[in-house]
Structure 1
Amino acid sequence: MAGASYQLNFLSQIQNARVELETNFSRLIQNINVFKSQLLEKLQEMENEHRIEVEKEEELRRLTQCLSSTVISSNLGNRISSITDQIQHLFSENNCKLLVLDWDLSTEQILLNNFSDYIPLYTGNSSSSSSCEEVQLSLEQKYKIISIPTNTSCLAGQGCGELDDPRGVGIDDDTDHIYVADYNNHCIVVFERDGSYLREFTHKRMVNPVGIYVSGSLDRVYITIFGRDAVHCYKLDGTFIKEITHYGTTSAFNNPTGITMDSSERIYVCDQGRDRVVVFTKHLVFITVLTSQLSNPRDVKAVGSEVAILHDGEYCVSFYTRGGMFLRRVVKKGNNKQKVGHPVCFCIDSDNNILITDSTHDCIKIYRNTGFHICNIGCRGNSEGEFMEPAGIALFDDNSIVTLCDRDDDQLQVFEL
């Protein structure tokens, strides 16, 4: 009996030791998994930092190579702007027919082109259209012929997803579908290229959407949510994927506005309340703060290796490298037809011309990438081709159509070029 009791006791000890060993082994596995996760996050962070450093080195090398011309250009910039403003004003006062006044960096000469004719911007039948400003246009100027809108879609009160204070607009380049961020209806409304209503989608946390970027190739729609200080990600069909309200370790969004993506599938978000532009992966994982030196950044666009930001300031469009190095500022603010009163949104065409919606002058203002004013599209009014507080603007891939949200009239207008 004593032998049997001793054997049972021994087996019990073995069982307890086995249980303890299994428990310790399970804890070890858990600790290994936690350590593995932390290590992967650290490696991802180091990879992002390394990529940014490599980009900065490449950009610094490129900028160093053209330092001489850059210094000359920067020294001339303010003087050139002042001279061109004065000459424009002088010609305007004398009713001279002058459109193009710019500075050619290659020859260091002021360019003046005179034309024999004025071409009216709009030729609609509306009586208020006569109040629209007439502009001169060169024969080679891409925006020389702007037709009245091909379609005005879903006015308030007409059903079919009627709009109420539309703010942002994005285009799916694969299908040419137009996605509109409807601020007061808390939804995204989708139209065909010709303005026909397709569908709309929303989410219980979609409160006052503002900015929007559409990627057909990724099947993603990225939206800034003003009412929740958040960024949302959806599939093209409206399936909710993700919401983020913070970036980094402690920073919360404060009035996010414009949003875009570059060719490397990095997302840029204007955090207007914090005067920052923040960079994320396509999965909305935080990478870095591009810049925190701008006042009220409203909109952002990626152009080649550069990032353009629309903001408050004497010059309202600033260009940075993707690594956050400042390059230049263009487009002067002011209260006349050449300058921007209150910039809202912008886009950049294939020739690097800058199109800005101006809610003070109720028009689209077009500039060269040097900041030289080319022409205005539209004026204040309620007819086709006229605007009341224009907001979002976008271009189709072929640059043949301009789409624009008209906030006060709650409509989407489509223009043929």
Structure 2
Amino acid sequence: MATEFGASMPEETARELERLRREVLMAKEELRARFEFYFRVLQEKHLEMEVQLDEVVRMAEAKVVDRHNKLDQLLITKAEVTQNLVHNELNETLENVSRELDQKIQVLEAIGDRVPSVWLEWHEEWLEGGMGGLCQVVEGVSYVNRHKPVWSGVNKGSGSDEIFNPIGLSIDRDNGDIYVSDWSVHRIQVFCKDGSYKRTIKAQGMSYPSDIAVTPHQLFVICFLSDNILKLDKVSGEIMCQIETGYSIFCIRADVDTLYAGIVEVNHISHHSLEDLSKIKETALNSPHITQDTRLRDLRTTPSLFVVLFKECDYLIQLFSRDGNFFQVIALQELLTSPIRICLDRHQNIIVSDYGANNIKVISIEGHIVTTIGHEGEGPGEFCSPYGIDINEEGRIVVVDDNRSHMLQFF
């Protein structure tokens, strides 16, 4: 019997080889069929995971009264799981999906009694089910604010654990400590993340501290009347170095390696080394909405943008690229009465302390007011002159009031 293996091969051997070849082909076909089967199983498992996770989130929402932060972390984990479905080997992915789904279910069941509030993806059925009064929704993000604002009990005064004339507020991302510049008393007041007094920083030469910036190891302070920038040891308060800028600055911000100072009169941002405060460069803000009377009041940075608050301008909040080119207008003058400070939340919404309106406004990156917090008064959630503002690691807004008996509040 002639086969493709050659005529000179013994017939019995040729038949055996032919049989083996067919078995190999059948095995390959079986492997292909199994591969397609497990791929379908993987897709079905993914869909089941999505359905189960949405159901678990809805069940958790019905139980949680005061949640704020944990579900945001779970949504990030969910995105990582979805990415793993694309990049991991099929056999590893099947095991990971099952294991991570079990972990998320356990976390969801545990957060109900521990978390004050939670960032949630918006589902219309939640609002139709009677939750509309509990949520402010914009662009698919639901702010569930069912907890009462908390004030810290920090009183107005010049005592060691009081605040007399606060302007700047910055939160230490390392441990949650709150740094407040007490302007007319020439000191920095430091409070724990729960608002309890921790220590006072005073240094010879630190006069009229206005805005402040905190890094893991240093504290940076503007001395308003002298236009100096000081670098202090965060614990001892010792001045490590200082520079005289020669121009008027109202705000400073720091990232991993650079200190940014807003130059008021010319609407420039000065870049300085965190090491010795030496000037690296100066970025001019080029916008068609800036006039000769416009003054830079506050700024925040992201990896790709500057978010800038102006005064004496019809376009109060504007976005710029990191090289200073105009990108977008966020807030017109008609939205805000007298904004004094800004910060950014995790969704890149802009939180504004509106000094003149005695409230806090949350503005989306598209320029819509998400919600307004507070009004004039002396009680919890009320303001007389809200000033310095920042967001802590739990997502709470921390704001200091310049003209009331209880100075520090958390939202």
Shorter-normalised TM-score: what interval? Answer: 0.5 to 0.7
Return the match for 1:230 from 228, 231, 236. Answer: 228
Equivalent runs, 1:256-295 vs 2, <5 Å: 256-263=249-256, 265-282=257-274, 283-291=276-284, 294=290, 295=294
1:146–1:366 CA distance, 2 compared to 1 (3 A): farther
Amino acid at match of 1:232: L
Shift of 1:117: 7.8
SS of the residue 1:143 aligns to: strand
Distance in 1, matches of 2:206 and 2:408, equals 24
SS of the residue 2:136 aligns to: coil
- 1:355 correspondence with 2:351: yes
Q: Deviations 1:165-215 (Å, cap 9, x if unpaired)?
A: 111111111111100011111110000011110001122221211111111
Return the match for 1:253 from 243, 247, 252. Answer: 247
| Corresponding position of 1:37 | none
Rg comparison, structure with higher value:
2
Return the TM-score normalized by structure 2. 0.62
Count of aligned pairs between the two proteins: 275
Retained in 2: the 8 A contact 1:151–1:194? no
Distance in 1, matches of 2:409 and 2:170, equals 13
- 1:379 correspondence with 2:375: yes
Distance in 2, matches of 1:304 and 1:372, equals 23
Shift of 1:292: 5.1
| Corresponding position of 2:149 | 149
Distance in 2, matches of 1:205 and 1:271, equals 22
Shift of 1:411: 4.4
Return the TM-score normalized by structure 1. 0.61
1:166–1:142 CA distance, 2 compared to 1 (3 A): farther
Distance in 1, matches of 2:352 and 2:146, equals 16
| Corresponding position of 1:77 | none
- 1:221 correspondence with 2:219: yes
Structure 2: tracts of 5 or more residues without a match: 1-126
Equivalent runs, 1:3-402 vs 2, <5 Å: 119=133, 137-138=136-137, 141-145=141-145, 147-157=147-157, 159-216=159-216, 219-237=217-235, 238-246=237-245, 252-254=246-248, 256-263=249-256, 265-282=257-274, 283-291=276-284, 294=290, 295-312=294-311, 313-334=313-334, 339-399=335-395, 401-402=396-397
Point out 4+ residue stretches in structure 1 off by more than 3 angstroms. 114-120, 138-144, 146-149, 157-160
Retained in 2: the 8 A contact 1:146–1:415? no
1:138–1:276 CA distance, 2 compared to 1 (3 A): closer
Shift of 1:410: 5.9
Shift of 1:383: 1.2
1:207–1:119 CA distance, 2 compared to 1 (3 A): farther
Amino acid at match of 1:291: A
Shift of 1:258: 1.3
Distance in 2, matches of 1:151 and 1:358, equals 18
Retained in 2: the 8 A contact 1:259–1:270? yes
1:317–1:177 CA distance, 2 compared to 1 (3 A): same
Q: Deviations 1:212-254 (Å, cap 9, x if unpaired)?
A: 11111xx0111111121111111111111122112xxxxx122
Percent identity between matched residues is 23
Shift of 1:415: 2.1
Pick 1 or 2: higher relative contact order, CA cutoff 8 A, min separation 6: 1
Shift of 1:152: 2.4
Amino acid at match of 2:250: T
Amino acid at match of 1:329: V
Two-structure CA RMSD over aligned residues (Å): 2.4
Amino acid at match of 1:223: V
1:202–1:316 CA distance, 2 compared to 1 (3 A): same
1:310–1:411 CA distance, 2 compared to 1 (3 A): farther
Amino acid at match of 2:301: A
| Corresponding position of 1:131 | none
Task: Decide which moves more: 232-241 or 274-283.
Answer: 274-283
Retained in 2: the 8 A contact 1:355–1:364? yes
1:197–1:292 CA distance, 2 compared to 1 (3 A): same
Q: Deviations 1:95-146 (Å, cap 9, x if unpaired)?
A: xxxxxxxxxxxxxxxxxxx9878748xxxxxxxxxxxxxxx72497443316
Distance in 1, matches of 2:350 and 2:150, equals 22
1:160–1:365 CA distance, 2 compared to 1 (3 A): same
SS of the residue 1:137 aligns to: strand
Structure 1: tracts of 5 or more residues without a match: 1-113, 121-135, 247-251
Amino acid at match of 2:226: R
1:412–1:229 CA distance, 2 compared to 1 (3 A): same
Distance in 2, matches of 1:321 and 1:309, equals 11
Retained in 2: the 8 A contact 1:166–1:411? no
SS of the residue 2:181 aligns to: strand
1:410–1:328 CA distance, 2 compared to 1 (3 A): farther
SS of the residue 1:184 aligns to: helix
| Corresponding position of 2:401 | 406
1:198–1:326 CA distance, 2 compared to 1 (3 A): same
Retained in 2: the 8 A contact 1:147–1:415? no
